[in-house]
Amino acid sequence: MNDFQIPSSIIPTNDNERIQKLHTYDILDTPAEDAFDKIAILAAQIFNSPIAQVTFVDRERVFFKTNISPLEATEIDRKDSFCSIAILNDDVTLFENVLKVPELATNPFVAMENGIRFYAGAPLKTTEGLQLGTVCVLDTEPKQVTQQQLKMLETLSSIVMDELELRLATRKAMRTQTDMMNRIVHDLKNPNTTISLSAELIKRKADDPKIVTDFADRIKNAANGMLTSLNNLLDLSQVENGGFRLNLQEVDVFQLLNVVKKNFELLAKQKKQSVKISCDCSTTILADSVRLQDAFENLLSNALKYAQPGTEITINVSIVNNQLIVEFKDQGQGLSEEDMGKLFTKFAKLSAIPTGREHSNGLGLSIVKMLIELHKGQVWAESEGKNKGASFYISLPIN
């Protein structure tokens, strides 16, 4: 507080990291906002001070997000700001009489007529401990304050950080929604084009049963792809909004896998791929059969999509430590170290490329993770590297 010693340098050792974090909030050079103004006005009322500010310390300047002051400015040089000193202190920085601080005697805002004589600034601290700026109060007269006032200033600084985090989360959510909408439009345009062209060719070649059958299959695959994308998005939306519930019942996983295999027979046949299920154990568990089937279909779809034509996908079922393990093993393009770090995240783009010109919305694996974790299970992947195939595992508790 009052006994804080001003260091010889006002640049903290972690300044680059601190400034990088500050810039992620996109708060610099933004106009005044009511939420921040109210916080500064409350600080001024608590200290009965004519000046209150919400500040952010940038590399060369201090930006005033709110400036309740006779001084009409949005920024000052960093070297002249008391807040540049305050971010060096974990606690509230307090100068009850600035004239008693020799290091501040030459400060232009102290030396000026009716200069600053009192300052109290609570740092704006991130969860990582980085100090971005302050909520501060200033006066042209020295004054004594109470510990309660200083605690209230700290509380106001934490409210500012809550507001910053809320703004950041809102922007991320908006970007995610925009990204999602762009991908939906893109993913629905391609199968819609396939359906339209196939329907037109069927009309022209109605007398050739083989062509009619081929293009009818293409229409069916395109329509199923669109439905899968829409169902994935609906599932994701329901979970994120807390409206997702499992309908638990006894499910024979082996039978369910055979249903999934049958659903993908046409796609596998088109790429001359084969699917083999290997199981030598009891596979009855308590689960939501519809949601579990969604997870299995996503993994088998990925295996077929990224494996080379003419290869085999193996689904191995076993029991390990009272857990039912389902492995989807392919002979595809494998996973790089970078891929492994991005698995199961929404909209992740991996290095593998579909081998049959299929499309991906980047949601499948995140949907699998979500569904399996709702079942109190786990999902992970293993690969020896690029072009060495991959195995995706699901672990489900046996009740």
pLDDT at 188 over 80: no
**Average of per-residue pLDDT across 215-219:** 71
Hey, what domains does the chain have and what are their CATH numbers?
15-170 (3.30.450.40), 246-399 (3.30.565.10)
Question: Rounded CA gap, 137 and 48, in Å?
Answer: 9
* pLDDT score of 330: 92
In the 8-state DSSP scheme, what is residue 8?
Answer: S
Helices (H) then strands (E): counts for the chain: 11, 13
pLDDT at 324 over 60: yes
Tokens for 364?
A: 């499948």
**Average of per-residue pLDDT across 274-300:** 90
* pLDDT score of 23: 94
* pLDDT score of 268: 86
* pLDDT score of 58: 96
131-139 vs 284-287, strand pairing mode = unpaired
What residues contact residue 331 under an 8 Å CB cut-off, 6+ apart?
307, 308, 311, 312, 313, 389
What residues contact residue 129 under an 8 Å CB cut-off, 6+ apart?
none
Return the amino acid letter for 27.
Answer: I
Confidence bin at 276 (pLDDT 50/70/90): very high
Question: Rounded CA gap, 25 and 83, in Å?
Answer: 19
pLDDT digits (tens, 9 = 90+) for 136-159: 999 999 999 999 999 999 999 999
User: DSSP strand E in the chain: where?
Assistant: 51-57, 61-68, 75-77, 93-95, 118-125, 131-139, 249-252, 274-279, 284-287, 312-320, 323-330, 378-382, 390-397
Within a 10 A sphere around the Cβ of 31, how many other Cβ atoms? Answer: 6
Tokens for 199?
A: 């329907």
Q: Considering Cα of 369, then 373, then 375, then 379, what sign does the dihedral take? A: positive
pLDDT at 62 over 50: yes
Taking alpha carbons only, the member of 79, 29, 83, 25 closest to residue 53 is: 83
Most confident of 4-8, 67-71, 177-181, 273-277: 273-277
Question: Rounded CA gap, 261 and 248, in Å?
Answer: 22
pLDDT at 177 over 50: yes
| Higher per-residue pLDDT: 190 or 323 | 323
Confidence bin at 266 (pLDDT 50/70/90): confident
Whole-prediction pTM value? 0.53
CA angle 226-230-231, nearest 5°?
115
pLDDT at 387 over 90: no
pLDDT at 181 over 70: no
Confidence bin at 360 (pLDDT 50/70/90): low
pLDDT at 190 over 60: no
| Higher per-residue pLDDT: 257 or 214 | 257
* pLDDT score of 1: 45
What residues contact residue 76 under an 8 Å CB cut-off, 6+ apart?
61, 62, 64, 109
Tell the burial category of 23 from Cβ atoms under 10 Å away from its Cβ (0-12, 13-18, 19+): middle
pLDDT digits (tens, 9 = 90+) for 11-36: 999 999 999 999 999 999 999 999 99
Confidence bin at 327 (pLDDT 50/70/90): very high
* pLDDT score of 189: 57
Average pLDDT over all residues of the chain: 85
**Average of per-residue pLDDT across 120-141:** 95
Tokens for 354?
A: 């579909």
* pLDDT score of 237: 60
pLDDT at 193 over 90: no
Question: Rounded CA gap, 227 and 204, in Å?
Answer: 27
